[in-house]
A and B are shown apart, each in its own frame.
Chain A
Amino acid sequence: MAEKEKKESLLSRLGESQVWKSIIRSGVPRSRRQRMYAVLGNVFLHLHPARVPKHAVKIGYTWCMGGLSFFLFVVLTITGILLMFYYRPTVEYAYTDIIDLTEQVPLGIMRELHRWGAHAMVLTVWLHMLRVFMTGSYKPPREFNWGVGVLLMTITLFLSFTGYLLPWDQLAIWAVTVGTNMARAHPFIGHEGPGASLLAIGDINLVHMGSDVRFALLGGRFVGEATLLRFYVLHCIAVPFVAMIFMAVHFWRIRKDGGISGPL
């Protein structure tokens, strides 16, 4: 008993120390006031309001899917950074580097975590969207945030799609070939799309196989070395960058639009 008191006082004393206070800003969150400060004074936790309605903490209402999607984004960023230490996006090395990831690298499940995490993120994002629809949470004033969410879902799919190519195996190049073949049929800017033949000066076609949107996406006429580099940059830098901007807006708007939805 005496020991426990001693421990508590140690923790409280720690909470009152200069070092602790300089980092955490508030003491050990025991009182209601301190607990609110714990959220308000923390840059990560202050995504949340200090207090939420009771239904907001029920798994049955939110299914936790939005939070898990964000968590998966963090997991994928961390595992992705680790994978970048070993992976070289060239036709020569890509495939063998992937094999090395399982066979040579310690903790050889990083690629598994990244791959399955990516699939799981597609699912959690879809389930989050389904939940938001089923609870009618897109209704005013949250219309705009639903739109941001739809874009985030598209970005998630595109992130997953660009990552699909990187192992440079048969599954990868043919899935990406099938996917990017769509781009050649893009109206006006794909060389097999309606209207592309209208964009011509005299009888010189402006949109042809070497200048259309598919060429821009692939960096060539077929899925090759340039495509691998392009998809690598898109996957590791460009699309995550866009995703983070949209996520920032998404989270900020949740708060601005009155926090989690609920019946009035």
Chain B
Amino acid sequence: MNYIKNLIDFLSAPTISFTLLTVAFPFIFPPTDWFEKKNKQWGIYKLWTNKGAFWIFISVTFFFVIGYFDPYFNLTMTKPDNIPIILMIYSMIFVIWLGMKKAYNNDARLDRGEKPEEWNDPDDKVLVWPDLVYIELIALILFMVFLIVWSILIGAPLEEPANPAATPNPSKAPWYFLGLQEMLVYFDPWIAGIIFPIFIIVGMMAIPYMDINKKGDGYYSFKERRVGYFIFMYGWVVLWVFLIVIGTFFRGPNWNFFGPFEWWDPHKVEPLTNINLSEYVWVKLLNKGLPSSIFAREAVGFAAVIGYLFIMPLLLAKTKLKNLFEHYGPVRYSTLMLFGLTMFALPIKMYLRWLFNLKYIIAIPEWFFNI
């Protein structure tokens, strides 16, 4: 048992678990033909069968059961405020499974030249009274029962009275913002707390204008929208839900990483060895001191950021993504690139941090302008 616990502790480190998820993701939601072939070859699509659901359910439950009997993870898991996250993990997995199952079912139907399962003769409708209202009534009664039972069984969280002098360690934001708090490890507050949230909201609102694929409207389908699915699911599941899980269960005092079965040692020391790109370039590479002019100092960083966000899409529009650019037109293409590249900037920065201990690409603490 200890061996399994140590293994899970080891695997859940963000460097490992995030990498595993990121690598596995294109195989689970294959965006291209090659990935689709591998998906078929390795039988990953079987996740979306009843058997797959059974094994996912068993493994997640196994984790929570041994967690419940573990003295350390029990503390984190049974904290009343963390209960919604367990509910989130189960419900997210279930609805994604259900949606994907239906999507694969519809894909098979479309392949056979049939209409999607949801299709009905437009003239063959049902009456709202009683066919819909009674379902709504049952749904809300069941949900209310669930809520009342939940409320009777588990008291709402209440800690000691507020004390501005006693900062708890770790201090955590409400659970639904823990993804943002986790991003703070890699970005400064002005990006992780302001720019990213704004980009998430505006970017999500822009989805219908960026995804101009007319297929798959009004029914579950994967094959017809696989690139859109891949990008959205990666952003939603890995960059939002999974970061919330990390922030809740795996971040202890001083926001240090702790495996689920480790004791939250407040004195755990993490060496801070991160250095800026400008120091890499000027000090390590050129063996000089940092120049006094801010722009000279950060020139490489500015070049990298501008190159990534603006020049790369331009070059891609002329070369590899020429078809997409012509299909999308300049405005739509730049919107897609801006939001898409900003989204993928998060994992990129995470890996730069893990691989090269890179602190900031552009570091201008004088202006609070650190990227």
Whether the Cβ atoms of B189 and A123 lie closer than 8 Å is no
* Interface check B176, CB cutoff 8 A: yes
Of the residues B84, B96, B171, B211, contact of A130 by C-beta under 8 Å? B96
The total of chain A residues at the interface (CB under 8 A) is 101
Chain B residues contacting A75 (CB-CB under 8 Å) are 144, 147
Shortest distance between the CB of B218 and any CB in chain A (Å): 4
Binary interface encoding of chain B residues 198-229 relative to chain A, with 1 for a CB under 8 A from any of its CBs, else 0: 00010011011101001111111100010001
Whether the Cβ atoms of B219 and A29 lie closer than 8 Å is no
Whether the Cβ atoms of A170 and B216 lie closer than 8 Å is no
A interface SS class: helix
Q: How many angstroms between the C-alpha atoms of A120 and B154 in the bound complex?
A: 14
Whether the Cβ atoms of B140 and A160 lie closer than 8 Å is no
Whether the Cβ atoms of B143 and A68 lie closer than 8 Å is yes
Whether the Cβ atoms of B139 and A194 lie closer than 8 Å is no
Segment of B54-62, B124-132, B292-300 engaged in the interface with chain A: B124-132
Binary interface encoding of chain B residues 23-62 relative to chain A, with 1 for a CB under 8 A from any of its CBs, else 0: 0000000000000000000000000000000000000000
Given known A143-B209, A185-B194, contact A194–B369 (CB-CB < 8 A): yes
Segment of B111-119, B306-314, B320-328 engaged in the interface with chain A: B111-119
Given known A45-B128, A123-B91, A178-B172, contact A68–B140 (CB-CB < 8 A): yes
Binary interface encoding of chain B residues 164-200 relative to chain A, with 1 for a CB under 8 A from any of its CBs, else 0: 1011100111111100110000001110111100000
* Interface check B95, CB cutoff 8 A: yes
B240 nearest CB neighbor, chain A only: A126
* Interface check B2, CB cutoff 8 A: no
Q: How many angstroms between the C-alpha atoms of A185 and B192 in the bound complex?
A: 10
The total of chain B residues at the interface (CB under 8 A) is 93
Shortest distance between the CB of A199 and any CB in chain B (Å): 12
Whether the Cβ atoms of B164 and A127 lie closer than 8 Å is no
Q: How many angstroms between the C-alpha atoms of A133 and B171 in the bound complex?
A: 33
Whether the Cβ atoms of A193 and B368 lie closer than 8 Å is yes
A112 nearest CB neighbor, chain B only: B151
B117 nearest CB neighbor, chain A only: A55
Whether the Cβ atoms of B91 and A67 lie closer than 8 Å is no
Whether the Cβ atoms of B148 and A109 lie closer than 8 Å is yes
* Interface check A212, CB cutoff 8 A: no
Whether the Cβ atoms of B164 and A173 lie closer than 8 Å is yes
Q: How many angstroms between the C-alpha atoms of A157 and B180 in the bound complex?
A: 13
Task: A71-B140, A174-B171, A187-B194 given; name 7 further pairs at CB < 8 Å.
Answer: A60-B102, A127-B95, A131-B95, A151-B205, A169-B159, A196-B368, A262-B118
Ordered by A's residue number, 30 sampled pairs between the chains whose C-beta atoms are within 8 Å are A36-B127, A50-B127, A51-B126, A52-B132, A55-B119, A68-B140, A71-B143, A112-B155, A116-B151, A123-B88, A130-B92, A130-B95, A133-B232, A135-B99, A137-B217, A147-B208, A157-B177, A160-B176, A161-B174, A170-B160, A186-B194, A187-B190, A190-B190, A192-B190, A192-B368, A193-B194, A193-B368, A194-B367, A194-B369, A196-B368
